[in-house]
Structure 1
């Protein structure tokens, strides 16, 4: 049976819509007493009565705000009944109804997870109303605390995994600045399928890589980490250019779980004198070069296919020349695939170039420049960018 009460002296917390109470009581007299006491509890209180634990577990699925449960039921007794109710309605406040001769059971019930207990013979309308209200507030407080603890645990786990899996650049040249931003696109993801790395070798060359595994998820993140580690190992072993890309292509073919998986990649080797770089692209967006004259994107060609698409593929190199002061920025397409305004137009490379010219012309350099580009892309998108994104910038000269 269900009753709705519209007015009362000691009002219960209803939130959005009526306050839903579930009364689990097999004694008709006690059930009637509770209903009468709740006549003064409004506004908009809905009370549903069930007489067995089985019916209570079924009714708990409707999402009551508070459950008042007698621990002496035809099909259950004591704390075992309470535990089943708590498991069936983890978000509801639970109050236990006891008799004078088993008040100690009420104390044990609170220890088991109930918000409070009531001795039937001592209950009046005001006490019942306050007990329900306080129980709901305590349950909300408990839930908030649980979420806070969970968020802190996730944050610590994120930091631990990022320290272990995201790269620490191998860079010894004090004349070079290193700036990076990495963010997975999925909610609460630890890592995405994008990856980047920086390694300076014994001859003074500085090697950069940025890549994007197709798809989103833990498997893609794991594959991205394996490809990055393979790239670093090959660089340290002296491999570069076509030979390195062929080996990475082979690694991808053996490590991927589906023939549909591919990876775009951009790889650069900055010369020891810092006056130029050689760039290889495998289906990846072109880097941007910043200098005194402004911002210049690398030409679209040459660009070979993404890794994992064509057996025996070739990847031609392009050479870049630098001034005394410069910055080289690599990025994944998560930065440019957001919307540009309210329509369906994407930011794409022309939009990114315009943002970069504004930020660079406004005097931003290094990490401030990287952060400004991401922030402005998100502002235009009217939300955080949905795709994984990685940005890697190396600077030389003033403002590095």
Structure 2
């Protein structure tokens, strides 16, 4: 039975008109409550259900408050409340009791109801205030729950980020070191991409950037383990193909499926900062900025991703550098978006076009990285859907 009609708007809309569900099997009491409420809330929609079965069928997302009598033909006591709360966990609930059953109302609040009303004491203003209060209290409870979840999620993300996004071990003030890490859209805040930079005793700077296949917590966890293994090996004096072979072994032991592999680019920057040695395992080519412009590092010697061919030896390429340069390492999330056409990917060629324009503008450091990401997203028509990591090392006039 519906006394008056209005527009439901959902619990969390403060200005919404009231839409209520009254669960009451006594037609006289139901009529009384409708009459009392419409005196103070003339623009209200009240749906009346005489049984729990009818009530559960009538519960929709736009019901803002449920007023429930705990004595129904098909259920009684707190069992009624529990079933209503289970069916509508985000909806405010008021419980009706008699004079002799006030203790039941207290128990109902303890079980999850926002408040209780003694039938014999109810008038129009009290009923209206109780409903409004219940809705606001439920809204406050929901806001508090979301804040707690956000706080817990933030703490967890911060903990994971400390492992995934390490502070570089870098003691050369002549170098610029800038990075960006961002997970894919609609995913956990961390993915399987990782990077690291470590300067060792002789002044050589070792670096890595890599991408574990897949997205989510498992891939992030594996990425953290591989990064920690890589840093440990570098600090222990290992480098080059032997390091990659050991990292490949770690991956094969730690992964949960033989289908999991990792693309990787590793490098060693000489102490005089004029030569770069690069090992590439199925990973996109780094981009070099210098006085002559922008180009991809041409390394014809490279190997497959880690985890595909155990026992392989990865070759390296030596790249001469001048006094002024910037090197950009990145994962494929940066170049897999569309290039302004839903049939064409940005890829390396498109990235080089964007990089040349940024280089001509004089972009440096974070301005360069953020600008390239923004342009890639503009061409894609949306945020980039894959995890991405970008690391920029620079020296001299390009720092």
Same fold by TM-score, threshold 0.5 exceeded?
yes
Unaligned runs of 5+ in 1: none
**Cα 1:105/1:365, change in 2 over 3 Å:** same
Q: Is the 8 A contact 1:176 1:396 kept in 2?
A: yes
Equivalent residue, structure 2, for 1:49: 49
Q: Is the 8 A contact 2:198 2:205 kept in 1?
A: yes
**Residue 195 of structure 1, CA deviation:** 0.9
Q: Is the 8 A contact 2:38 2:44 kept in 1?
A: no
**Residue 399 of structure 1, CA deviation:** 5.8
Of 292-301 and 58-67, more deviation after overlay is shown by 58-67
**Residue 284 of structure 1, CA deviation:** 0.5
Q: Is the 8 A contact 1:275 1:323 kept in 2?
A: yes
Supply the RMSD in Å over aligned alpha carbons: 2.9
Equivalent residue, structure 2, for 1:26: 25
2: CA distance between counterparts of 1:24 and 1:360? Answer: 69
**Residue 363 of structure 1, CA deviation:** 2.1
Q: Is the 8 A contact 1:206 1:272 kept in 2?
A: yes
SS in 1 for 2:25: coil
1:140 aligns with 2:139: yes
Equivalent residue, structure 2, for 1:346: 345
**Residue 277 of structure 1, CA deviation:** 0.2
2: CA distance between counterparts of 1:299 and 1:350? Answer: 13
2: CA distance between counterparts of 1:273 and 1:293? Answer: 21
SS in 2 for 1:97: strand
1: CA distance between counterparts of 2:282 and 2:187? Answer: 28
Of 168-177 and 329-338, more deviation after overlay is shown by 168-177
**Residue 377 of structure 1, CA deviation:** 1.8
Q: Is the 8 A contact 1:12 1:42 kept in 2?
A: no
TM-score by length of 2: 0.87
Of 256-265 and 295-304, more deviation after overlay is shown by 295-304
Equivalent residue, structure 1, for 2:96: 97
**Residue 134 of structure 1, CA deviation:** 4.1
2: CA distance between counterparts of 1:345 and 1:12? Answer: 45
Deviations 1:141-192 (A, max 9, x none): 3323322332232122211221244322111222122111112225352421
2: CA distance between counterparts of 1:39 and 1:372? Answer: 58
1: CA distance between counterparts of 2:128 and 2:122? Answer: 10
Equivalent residue, structure 2, for 1:319: 318
Q: Is the 8 A contact 2:30 2:48 kept in 1?
A: no
**Residue 343 of structure 1, CA deviation:** 2.6
Count how many residue pairs are aligned between Structure 1 and Structure 2.
Answer: 393
